[in-house]
Amino acid sequence: MHPDLERVLFTEEQILARVRELGAQLSRDFAGRNPLFVCILKGAVLFMADLVKRIDIPMEMDFMATSSYGESSKSSGVVRILKDLDRGVEGRDVILVEDIVDSGLTLAHLRDLLYHRRAQSVTIVALFDKPEGRAVDIQPDYVGFQVPNEFIVGYGLDFAERYRNLPYVGVLKREVYARS
């Protein structure tokens, strides 16, 4: 385990097993609809890569980046589009692939934006869900794991751009964010 972590919450094996299940479920539920999987950069990039390998129906991918928490571990509540989709979504079944839902502000904003652009449907897939953090009424349609209200890193999730490369997910030691 990385020395900056307090404990591991999910091992690489546990994450991949759950991602495989989500892929099978999405493949069944979206058969015949050529869904557009939209990865929310950068946190969801590892999840997206593992998930799409488990999709066995025709599908497409695109990427979007929104403003992050910066170097802080708390939400600013501000959602800014840093990189938009390459193509329009009119009439498409869009699947938003997100690392973690906390306040829900990011996803509520993106969902509204995509419906405004006339997507046929917007489905939210989040690997992690922190239901206690919610500031707006939004629930992901598919969730990998529920997590406690603690700051987690690894498997795409960062603190100040670090730890995204860890193949597992754990809770960061308090002294690590107190330090910066």
Provide the annotated active-site residues: 102
Closer CB to ligand 5GP, residue 56 or residue 132?
Answer: 132
Other CB atoms closer than 10 Å to residue 153's CB: what's the count? Answer: 23
H helix intervals, 34-139:
45-52, 105-116
Query: Which of 153, 166, 169, 176 forms a contact with ligand 5GP (CB under 6 A)?
Result: 153
Answer yes or no: are the C-beta atoms of 138 and 111 closer than 8 Å. yes
Closer CB to Mg ion, residue 40 or residue 172?
Answer: 40
**Size of the residue set binding ligand 5GP (CB under 6 A):** 19
Stretch that binds ligand 5GP, among 15-23, 82-90, 110-118, 152-160 (CB under 6 A): 152-160
Task: Tell me: does residue 102 bind Mg ion (CB under 5 A).
Answer: no
**Helix axis angle, 45-52 relative to 12-29, nearest 10°?**
60
Output the smallest distance, CB 32 to ligand 5GP, in A: 30
Strands (E), 11-147: 36-41, 60-66, 81-83, 93-101, 121-129, 142-146
Which of Mg ion, ligand 5GP, none does residue 63 bind to, with CB < 5 to 8 Å depending on kind? none
Residue nearest to Mg ion (CB): 43
- Which of 156, 130, 148, 152 minimizes the C-alpha distance to 46? 156
Pair type for strands 142-146 and 152-153 = unpaired
Binding mask 87-126 for ligand 5GP (x = CB under 6 A): -----------xxxxxxxxx--------------------
Query: Which of 15, 157, 166, 169 forms a contact with ligand 5GP (CB under 6 A)?
Result: 157
